[in-house]
Structure 1
């Protein structure tokens, strides 16, 4: 690796205040489904819940903070959310 190449930052687990942002289609029950998936895999701080709709209302962004324990947990959360069919992106 040369000096000009950038390494991805290493996350030191556990992270007690890890933000998860989900961009999905707006629809009935989607918030409850997203929260249920997050709670299945992690401890969720519901006090950090934030929601914002796109200008035309087609998409909604939800952000919550979780306790992240390892990389596999984050991968499983991402995979299950993306498998719903209404989630477009997980950040």
Structure 2
């Protein structure tokens, strides 16, 4: 069996998806918009997709950004993970 390298992202990468899972409510959505706007000046808040869990306690918030590099993506993940409403960042 040969080991393959993971696919490499070419930057800038438009329409790069980021999904944030956390406690349902406006706090999570506001946090995601704030963080994305800080790290992507062209962020379009109208392209947010929000899905509630079956019982409504959790939400997934998916956004699309123009990824400019690994440093940007790491900073976004760090900022999102720092908030207690966030459980997982994909």
- Specify every segment of 5 or more residues in structure 2 that has no aligned partner in the other structure, as ranges: none
- Specify every segment of 5 or more residues in structure 1 that has no aligned partner in the other structure, as ranges: none
CA shift at 1:58, angstroms? 1.2
Residue number in structure 2 paired with 1:14:
12
Q: Distance in 2 between matches of 1:21 and 1:30?
A: 12
After TM superposition, the score normalised by the length of structure 2 is: 0.89
Aligned length: 89
SS at match of 2:36: helix
Q: Is the 8 A contact 2:19 2:61 kept in 1?
A: yes
Between structures 1 and 2, the one with greater helix share: 2
Q: Distance in 2 between matches of 1:11 and 1:28?
A: 32
Q: Distance in 2 between matches of 1:9 and 1:83?
A: 28
Q: What's the C-alpha RMSD, in Å, of the aligned pairs?
A: 1.3
1:53-88 Cα shifts (integer Å, max 9, x gaps): 000111100111111100010000001100101111
Residue number in structure 2 paired with 1:50:
49
Residue number in structure 1 paired with 2:66:
67
SS at match of 1:7: coil
1:12-44 Cα shifts (integer Å, max 9, x gaps): 000111111111111343211211011111131
After TM superposition, the score normalised by the length of structure 1 is: 0.88
